[in-house]
């Protein structure tokens, strides 16, 4: 029931936030903040009740399950289930949701109610994606997060928002329609085999099919997820969408939306088509490595600070792709760790950059410089998150990247060697952020206000989380490992 509660709180909150705008402008912010705090507390409480050092209490495969009739005529069910993997990502969702509401507190001044309506709907869609086990329901939530995100970029975005929103929508929709075809193909195969119509994940696992069919169906899923992830060459929507979106949009895009692609691969694309996934693995790993290097090189070449951070996502998510398709214990744990830490570090970078833009109204690094002396708190924060992003030992990202490389080394040595170069490249672009914007001479004569208490609180929580994940990541591993082991049992690569 807790899963239904998550969704209901978000949806009811969204309508209340929209309606509250008429009464008081700030009310919408407080309502969406309250809804997210409520969900975050619920989720963490749920985790606390189930967590043991040795791993989650696992009575079955799932910690909790909801399975209701929805459209019986087509065998579609409202089937939600939560395991350690979903739980970790759901907690991340609410955490970043809180951060994104907080960081848009003063940035969004127009149509506040509708803004928060969209934010909560996106979060509801993402939560649904992480929880649903019926493929129709999964697709449904997959699309639900798309439309409000389109509005978020299209209405509150920056200069080139319409172009970016359109590109985002078309790319992801093209991918997801291919996935829909694959879902239907899979269900028809299952129907021909058993003459039962079902979209249930567990029933569809292990559907017998020819190698060629499996490959094509798998490709439909894979492309949809690869667009979201994003994997090179399906990434062109990402820099535009991230750059043009308002800060909250960028945080959610980078921190959560990209993770749905990775989650989809972990949960669906690989386990549903084990043989085909194995065939694809070497290609996927090399594409992941290509993403790591390509993203890093492009990030270094950017002069738009937001665009720079956006390209680092391409690079970081390359590690996740490598980790998933290496498909062994270390690599998978590393991939999940990387997902969580990338969400925190990149989300935080977007918040800082957003705050910077709110103050000096530019994102152009060529016009910045010497900001450390005028805003030391912001400089320190950027420094910290840049270091996290480049994979400094002691912070969470290092754990993720290190484990991915460790796991991948056993599968594909040459690719891993190239992937490791990505760590060096990360150092260059991460330090470039700090150097261009905060060191040197203050040529622009900027005198902006430093970060205020609200910003410092939000970022402070993210700092604590990253340090905690870097020094003592065991709780996360204990939480996700049973789920990952379960997935590994389904597929032997």
State the residues that interact with other proteins by CB under 8 A: 69-74, 136, 139-140, 143-144, 146-147, 150-151, 154-155, 162, 165-166, 169-170, 173-174, 177-178, 180-181, 184-185, 187-188, 191
Alpha helix positions (H), 109-160: 112-131, 135-144, 146-156
Residue 356 tokens, joined: 């910077």
Instruction: Show the CA angle centred on residue 235, arms to residues 232 and 238, nearest 5°.
Output: 150
Residues in the chain: 493
For the bound state, the minimum distance from the C-beta of residue 185 to other proteins, rounded and expressed in Å, comes to: 5
Nearer to other proteins, 213 or 427 (CB): 213
Strand partners, 200: 134
For the bound state, the minimum distance from the C-beta of residue 110 to other proteins, rounded and expressed in Å, comes to: 10
Checking DSSP bridges between strand 55-56 and strand 51-52, what pairing results, if any? antiparallel
For the bound state, the minimum distance from the C-beta of residue 273 to other proteins, rounded and expressed in Å, comes to: 16
Q: If DSSP codes are grouped into helix, strand and coil, which group holds residue 456?
A: helix
Nearer to other proteins, 75 or 255 (CB): 75
Nearer to other proteins, 150 or 372 (CB): 150
Report the greatest alpha carbon distance in the chain: 73
Nearer to other proteins, 118 or 315 (CB): 118
Nearer to other proteins, 154 or 271 (CB): 154
Percent of the chain as helix, strand, coil, to the nearest 5: 75, 5, 20
Q: If DSSP codes are grouped into helix, strand and coil, which group holds residue 76?
A: strand
Gyration radius of the chain's alpha carbons: 21
For the bound state, the minimum distance from the C-beta of residue 121 to other proteins, rounded and expressed in Å, comes to: 10
Nearer to other proteins, 230 or 291 (CB): 230
Nearer to other proteins, 53 or 110 (CB): 110
Nearer to other proteins, 165 or 276 (CB): 165
For the bound state, the minimum distance from the C-beta of residue 136 to other proteins, rounded and expressed in Å, comes to: 8
For the bound state, the minimum distance from the C-beta of residue 148 to other proteins, rounded and expressed in Å, comes to: 11
Nearer to other proteins, 273 or 294 (CB): 273
Question: H or E stretch including 187?
Answer: helix 161-194
Nearer to other proteins, 273 or 438 (CB): 273
Q: If DSSP codes are grouped into helix, strand and coil, which group holds residue 200?
A: strand
For the bound state, the minimum distance from the C-beta of residue 111 to other proteins, rounded and expressed in Å, comes to: 8
Is-contact 384 460, C-beta < 8 A? Answer: no
Q: If DSSP codes are grouped into helix, strand and coil, which group holds residue 440?
A: coil
For the bound state, the minimum distance from the C-beta of residue 165 to other proteins, rounded and expressed in Å, comes to: 8
For the bound state, the minimum distance from the C-beta of residue 88 to other proteins, rounded and expressed in Å, comes to: 26
Is-contact 124 7, C-beta < 8 A? Answer: yes
Q: At a CB cut-off of 8 Å and minimum separation 6, what does 240 contact?
A: 160, 163, 164, 167, 168
- Please report, for residues 284, 340, 401, 446, the alpha-carbon distance to residue 406 in angstroms, rounded to integers and kept in the order given: 17, 18, 8, 45
Burial 140-151 (b: 16+ CB within 10 A, else e): bbbbbbbebbbb
Distance from C-alpha of 321 to C-alpha of 317, rounded to nearest angstrom: 6
Nearer to other proteins, 145 or 466 (CB): 145
Examine residue 233 and say whether the peptide bond preceding it is cis (omega within 30 degrees of 0).
yes
For the bound state, the minimum distance from the C-beta of residue 198 to other proteins, rounded and expressed in Å, comes to: 13
For the bound state, the minimum distance from the C-beta of residue 129 to other proteins, rounded and expressed in Å, comes to: 12
For the bound state, the minimum distance from the C-beta of residue 188 to other proteins, rounded and expressed in Å, comes to: 5
Q: If DSSP codes are grouped into helix, strand and coil, which group holds residue 160?
A: coil
Nearer to other proteins, 173 or 478 (CB): 173
Distance from C-alpha of 449 to C-alpha of 211, rounded to nearest angstrom: 61
Distance from C-alpha of 282 to C-alpha of 325, rounded to nearest angstrom: 8
């Amino acid at each position: 029931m807790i899963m239904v509660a998550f969704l209901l709180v978000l949806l009811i909150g969204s309508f209340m936030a929209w309606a509250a705008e008429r009464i008081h402008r700030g009310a919408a912010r407080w309502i969406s903040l309250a809804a997210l705090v409520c969900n975050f507390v619920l989720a963490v409480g749920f985790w606390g009740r189930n967590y043991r050092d040795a791993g989650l209490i696992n009575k079955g495969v799932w910690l909790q399950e909801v399975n209701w009739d929805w459209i019986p005529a087509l065998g579609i069910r409202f089937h939600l289930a939560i395991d350690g993997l979903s739980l970790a990502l759901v907690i991340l969702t609410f955490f970043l949701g809180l951060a994104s509401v907080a960081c848009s507190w003063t940035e969004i001044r127009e149509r506040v109610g509708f803004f928060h309506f969209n934010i909560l709907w996106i979060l509801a869609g993402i939560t649904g994606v992480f929880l649903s086990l019926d493929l129709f329901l999964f697709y449904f939530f997959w699309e639900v997060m798309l439309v409000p995100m389109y509005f978020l970029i299209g209405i509150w975005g920056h200069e080139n928002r319409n172009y970016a929103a359109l590109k985002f929508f078309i790319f992801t929709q093209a991918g997801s329609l291919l996935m829909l075809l694959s879902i239907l193909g899979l269900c028809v195969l299952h129907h021909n085999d058993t003459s039962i119509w079902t979209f249930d994940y567990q029933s569809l696992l292990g559907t017998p099919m020819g190698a060629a069919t499996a490959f094509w169906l798998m490709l439909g899923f894979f492309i949809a997820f690869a667009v979201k992830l994003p994997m090179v060459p399906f990434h062109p929507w990402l820099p535009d969408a991230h750059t043009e979106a308002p800060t909250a949009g960028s945080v959610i895009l980078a921190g959560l939306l990209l993770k749905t692609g990775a989650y989809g691969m972990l949960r669906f694309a690989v386990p549903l088509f084990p043989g085909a996934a194995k065939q694809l693995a070497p290609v996927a790993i090399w594409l992941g490595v290509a993403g790591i290097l390509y993203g890093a090189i492009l990030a270094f070449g950017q002069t738009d600070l937001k665009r720079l951070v956006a390209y680092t996502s391409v690079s970081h998510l390359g590690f996740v792709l490598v980790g998933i398709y290496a498909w062994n214990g270390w690599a998978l744990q590393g991939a999940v760790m990387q997902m969580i830490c990338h969400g925190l570090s990149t989300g935080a970078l977007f918040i800082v950059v957003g705050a910077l833009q709110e103050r000096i109204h530019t994102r152009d690094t060529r016009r910045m410089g010497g900001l450390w002396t005028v805003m030391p708190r912001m400089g320190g924060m950027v420094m910290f998150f840049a270091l996290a992003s480049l994979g400094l030992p002691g912070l969470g990202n290092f754990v993720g990247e290190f484990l991915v490389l460790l796991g991948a080394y056993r599968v594909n040595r040459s690719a891993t060697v190239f992937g490791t170069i990505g760590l060096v490249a990360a150092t260059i672009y991460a330090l470039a952020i700090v150097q261009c914007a905060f060191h040197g001479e203050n040529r622009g004569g900027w005198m902006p206000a430093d970060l205020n208490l609200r910003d410092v609180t939000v970022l402070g929580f993210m700092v604590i989380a990253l340090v905690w994940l870097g020094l003592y990541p065991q709780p996360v591993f204990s939480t996700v490992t049973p789920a990952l082991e379960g997935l590994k049992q389904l597929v032997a690569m």
